Every structure is written in structure tokens, then in C-alpha cells.
Structure 1
């Protein structure tokens, strides 16, 4: 056999082998091109959604670490319950109220009430729109934002609120308050039509939780012994700072899903590049907030304060949430750092007003939510300062008024605060009959 014949035979065999995958591909091994974007965006929503879901663990650990030992189990119970309630309420009412499509009851203001529905199994015999993502993945992702809003309220009102009134408020918050105002921006409502920009929810999520928590704190009142008659503030140290630190890192991790998934598409190279930019900006904003709080507490108190540094990192994350895409790394760091400074200043300011916020959620989520929404105008040329301020005020007034009404009704009908004896003994035993650390209990 000649070399030419030999090599010709090998070449023919190679061509035949290469041809086999081609025939397999033609047999529908590779999805049609129009499905690729649908698949990747759906996958993005699922992955970023469970990252945001993991933030529920972060809030739980943060709160469990910052409350006193005798109230730890109560915070664990509240966070598991509020997440579960949010899942049901968002399914029954919230999702379609937030994304009414053509189903506005009052155009741009209030959507129609209906139950969320998913696609049929396997998309069989349907003409599904493949230009976006599956309804199931979008519902799953958006639900996590709703649950996050409720988590914010939990920490502020810790150590003196009854369980069931709190959970009833969560029902109203997740079924009505959050979805209605969110529809004004993310559902194509009137704020969106005005050009309001809030990429991942500095206002739509974080300030909403902050306003609801503020109204609850004002109506509920401070913890017994927190403020002396002479105006002195008595600190109540948390029971487990390692747990609080773990919770902060879990929230930091979850925030990559919170902001990254809000890009809403992963169907092009440009969108993937933007998601990576969002991740980097989110991370550096948190770092900027933590470092700013570290330095400022050293200057103010002569020693750095760990709890302030933890909240400084969260403040940076909230601050960058309204616009994590357009800033440079330097600008994102500065935005986060300003958030960290605001938290350090806002905590003692609230104490002067005798507003008792156990975990610092109002400074982190409300104050920095407002700051982050305003900061959009410095990096996004499409943002209007007037529109951003107007939207902050509209959402703030709506959430504050409705929340206050609900809190007052609950206070008048079933009471929202535990008795003085129960508060002194701790809510774990009084409300739940169990302790988180029974081996360390006195007596």
C-alpha cells in the first residue's frame, strides 16, 4: 500500500468520524438557536434566586447574633415563618399584582388580583415566548426580593414584639404593600413611566423594609431600660458576634445574586460582561462601606466597633443596589463608603430620638436605601435627580402610611407588645417555651 493510499484512507476515516457528531446534532442534540437565550436567562434566574434565598439565612444569623441570648429562638422562628409566609402570599396575590401586564385595575397604579401560574410541564402544546425566561424562574427570583423586604422588619422590632401580630403584618407587607409599590417601577407603573431608576431595589426593596420597620419601632416603643431618664443610652450587647459576622458574610454572598440577577438577561456576551461588572461593583461597595465604618468608629470611639463594621458592609451593599452597573470600581467603592459613614452617624442619631432599632436595620436599609437611590444620578446619565427624589417620597409616604395603619390596628385589636414580665424574662420562654442555649440558662 502506497503512502498516498494509506493517508487517503486515514483522511476518509477522519472525515467520517467528524461527520458523525454533525448527524447527531441534526438529530436535535443541540437546542435551536432561539432557545439558547431562554435557557441561559432561566438558568441565571434560578442560580441568582437561590443566592438571594440564602440571604434569608444571613438575616437570621445576623439577628440571632445581635439580640440577647434570651430572645434568640424568637428571631429564628420569625425568620423561618416570614420567609414561608412571603412564599405563599406572593403566589396567591403578590406576583400578578406586581407584574399586572395588561391587567391593571387602575392603570399604572394598581394591578389586578389573581393567583400566579406557571407554564405547563415541558411547555407541551404551547406557544411560549422564548425571548425572555421561564415564568417559574422569574417568579422564584422575584419572590426572594419580597421575602427580603420582610426580613428587614424583623430585626428592628426584636426583643419586644409578639409573634402573631408580627406575622400578620408580614402577610399584609408581602401580599399588598411590597407588590403594589414594586409594580410602580418594576411592573411598568407610573414611576417607571416617569423615568425612575432603581436597578435592584435600594428603594423598591430596602427602603420599603426600612419604612415599615420605622413605623413599627415608633408605635411599638423602645425596649425596657434602653433609654434612661437622663437621656443616657444603655447598650444591650448581642449574644453571639461570630454568628452575626457569619450572617453578614452570607448576606454579602447572596447580594451577588440580588444585584447580578437584576440584569434580567444572560442571553448575550454583553449581558454576561455586565453581570460580571455588577458582581465586581457590588463587592467593592461592600468593602468600601466596611472600611469606612472601621476607620470612622476608630476616630469617634478610639476603638473600632465590629457591629458597626458589619453594618457598614451591608450599608455599602444597599447603597450600590440602585445602580450597580454604571459606576466604575472607584465610584462604586466611594458610594459604598458613604453608606458606611451614614450608618455610623445614623445609629446614634436614632438613639437620640429614642427610636430603638435592635440590629441597625433602619440606618442600613432606609438611610442607605435613600442614599443609594440618589447616588444613581452621579453615574447614570439617564437619571433625573428630581424623579429620583419624587419616587423616594412617593414610596416612603405610601409604605409609611399603610404600615402605620396596620400597626395601629394590630395594637388596638390584639396588642403588639409582650408584657413587661415577658420582655424581662425573654421572648424565647414567654412566647415559644424553648431556649436557643438551654445549657447556659440561669437556674
Structure 2
């Protein structure tokens, strides 16, 4: 490889790192928009902690768990030692036929943090902050790199007669986060007032502009998430992946709109936003293998599934404030299956391998997450008190508000509601109103 091509490949990989990094802002913005204003600081704090946790745990041991080299134990587990160290040839060597060791570490580390970010929104508005942080350290530091190694680190899923295929992580990132979220939701229970008298009560988020901005930031970031997974700046391969990624996102929006409108007779913005994300998650497993029609069909089905998934989880009284389970778990599974149904790898053998990977990764991730959540629940509890939940986590967990003028403490709100007109005339305008 020429020095010029090496530099170009490495630069594209670094640009992809920047794009994947900005996805954390997208998640933070989306999730904060879909929760109530009294929990905004809490959701932003959690999303601000995940990249540091992901990068540090990945540097200390996660990278060595995911890429153990020869230190395998039957293809199921491996560990090459604590910390990260330069390969032979030094820091500018063509470590992976086109980019440096440091570039590879940072790209993979950005992926690691995403799994815990998915959990953040699903358990929002009632989980203890400290408990969530501890769970994230364990989940990102152990569960994600172990299952990632099974495919991307040369583990047993990569050595099947027909290897399991997951181009950029529909299963290994998105459904892993989804399984972790499902375990947490089951043990946490629903938010107060969500399911009353056998009926589901909508608890809308406080800012649709924030949620919309978050989704478009995520769509932008996905160009690095999928485009960087080509692992080079190959013009044909990268261009194809970016086109298929965008077509699936577009079809996901339409699929969600058509299904939600036919069911609710309204143009539901949140369903369309989650439809875009559903299409992105769905195409992630096979973005390098699909045609234009394949990508559109995968996105269209994903958009429909995300709406049906929201209804299914509500029927089961599984309270997911942001729709993370429908987007990342259901559509992660669908996208992984789609590799065996569409595109260049379609066939019975590939479909069986895809089902194997989905089943093994899902079982391990759910059991691992459930065990961690259960242990934390037994030791210190995982849910805030009823008073804290009603007042909002911002006031109790952080002693601050995202919007100080409108997020007064609950007792202050009650006092204002009971005030007479004459009382309010004596108050500053921004308080009285």
C-alpha cells in the first residue's frame, strides 16, 4: 500500500470517529426531548458520562477482551492483558492494512459506549443515577467486548461453516443494548401513572424540537458508524454503504408514518423519528451487501416494526419512554435476519447462521444484564423513591433544573396553583406565569 493511500484511509477512519462521537450528542438530545422537563438534566448527565466510561473501560481492559489475538479459550473468551500497547512497527505502522493502531482503538471505543447509551433512554425517569453508572461500567466493560469478540475479534461466530454476518452492529451493538435495556425495564417496572386501570396513559416528552434535532444528528453520525465500518476509504464501497444507509432511513420514516397513521389517524412525529432510526438500525447489519430495493424494503419493514413494537411493549406493560426496545432490539434483530433474506449473502445457510448469532448474543446479553441489574437491586436498589420520581430526578439527583424558570420544585408549583390573583400580582412576571 502506498503512503498516500494509507494516509487517505486513515483520515477517513478518523472522520468516521468524529461522526460516531457526535452520535452521543444525538442520543442525549433525542432522549432529553422525549422525557419530561423535570428529568432533563438527569438524562443529559447519563449521556455525558457514557463516552468517558466507554473509552476508559475499553482502554483498561475492553479492547483486550474484544481483540485478544491468540489468547482464546475455544473462541468464546479471550484476554490479552490490561491496558493497550503499540503493535510491532510503532504508532504509524499500517496496523490494519490502512490505518494506525490508535485510529482502530478510538473507532472501536466509540462503538463500545453506544450500547450503554441505548439503555439510558429505556430506563429513564425512574432509575437511580449511581446504579445506572455502575451497570454501565460492567455492561460496557464486559458484556459488549465479549460478544463483540465472538464475531469481530475472530471468535466462534466468525468461524462457523457459514460465518455469522454483522457488518456494523445491528446485533453486536444495537440488540446488545436492547437486551440490556429490557432486563432493566423488567426489574424496574413502569413509571408511576403509565399503566392505570388496565389502560396505557401517554406520558409525552417535553421537547419535540430537541428530539427531532437528535434524530438528524444521529442520521449524520450513522455515516461514520456504517461508512467507517468499511475500514478503508474505498470510494465504491463507502459510497454504496452511505447510499444504502440513507435509503433505509428514508424508507423507515415512510413505513412508520403509514402504519401509525393507519392505526391512530394522526401524523405522529415521534413515530416518524423512531422510524428513521429503525431504518438505520435495520440496515446496519448488511449495508455493504444490499441493493437499492433491498435497502428500501429493509427500512420500510423496520419502520412498520417500530410502531408495532411500541404497541406490543405497552400491551405487555413494559415501559420504555423513548422507544429504545422497538428501535434497537426489534429492528436490530430484523436487520440481522435481513442479511440472510436479501442481498449478496441471502440463503438458507446464512439465515441459519444469522439466527444462531441472534440467539446466542441475545441469550448471553439478557442473562448478563439481568444478573447485574438484579444484583444491584438486591444490594442498593435500582429505583428512586416515589417522591423523587414525582418531583423529578433533576431536583433530587442533581440539585438543578434544565429550565429553572419553569421547573420549580413541586411544592412551589402547588403553592402557585393555589395562589389568588392578588398574590400573583405581587410576584415577578416569570414566576406568576
Is the TM-score greater than 0.5?
yes
Cα distance, 1:416 vs. partner?
A: 0.5
Which structure has the greater CA radius of gyration? 1
- Computed over aligned residues only, the root mean square deviation of the Cα atoms, in angstroms, reads 1.7
User: Structure 1 residues 109-118 or 82-91, which shifts more?
Assistant: 109-118
Alpha-carbon distance in 1 for matches of 2:207, 2:245: 27
Contact persistence 2:64–2:84 (CA under 8 A) = no
In the alignment, what sits opposite 2:286? 323
Contact 2:12 2:228 in 1 (8 A): yes
- Render the CA deviation track for 1:209-244: whole Å, top value 9, x for unaligned: 000000000011000110013x10011010000000
Q: Show the counterpart of 1:251.
A: 218
Asked if the contact 1:320–1:335 (Cα under 8 Å) also holds between the matched residues in 2, the reply is yes
CA distance in 1, matches of 2:407, 2:96: 58
362-371 or 320-329: bigger deviation: 320-329
Contact 1:109 1:190 in 2 (8 A): yes
Structure 1, unpaired ranges of 5+: 1-32
Q: 2:339 aligns to what SS in structure 1?
A: helix
Partner of 2:384: 418
Counterpart CA distance in 1 for 2:89 and 2:64 is 22
Q: What is the DSSP-based 3-state SS (H/G/I as helix, E as strand, rest coil) of the residue aligned with 1:440? A: coil
- Equivalent residues of 1:34, 1:130 under 8 A apart: no
- Work out whether 1:394 is the aligned partner of 2:370: no
Which deviates more from structure 2 when the two are superposed, residues 377-386 or residues 255-264? 377-386
Aligned residue for 2:262? 299
TM-score (norm 1): 0.88
Alpha-carbon distance change, 130 to 78 in structure 1, aligned in 2, over 3 angstroms: closer
TM-score, normalised on structure 2? 0.90
Show the 5 A alignment for 1:25-36: 34-36=2-4
Please give the secondary structure, in 2, of the residue aligned with 1:214.
helix
Which ranges of 4 or more aligned residues in structure 1 deviate by more than 3 Å?
118-124, 126-130
Q: How many residues align?
A: 404
In 1, distance between residues paired with 2:133 and 2:80? Answer: 22
Mapping of residues 243-282 of structure 1, within 5 Å:
243-266=210-233, 271-282=234-245
Match 1:114 to one of 81, 87, 90: 81
2:52 corresponds to which residue?
A: 84
**1:167 to 2:143 alignment:** no
Deviation at residue 115 of structure 1 after TM alignment: 3.1
The 8 Å contact of residues 281 and 327 in structure 1, kept in 2 or not, is answered as yes
**Contact persistence 2:259–2:307 (CA under 8 A):** yes
Provide structure 2 residue ranges, at least 5 long, that are not aligned to the other structure. Answer: 413-433
Structure 1, residues 319-352: CA drift from partner, whole Å, max 9, x if none? 0000002211122011111000000111011001
For the structure 1 residues 221 and 113, does the alpha-carbon distance in structure 2 shift closer, same or farther, using more than 3 Å as the test? Answer: farther
Distance 1:69 1:330 in 2: 41
- Give the deviation of 1:117 after TM superposition: 2.6
- Report the alpha carbon displacement of residue 121 of structure 1 after superposing the two structures with TM: 13
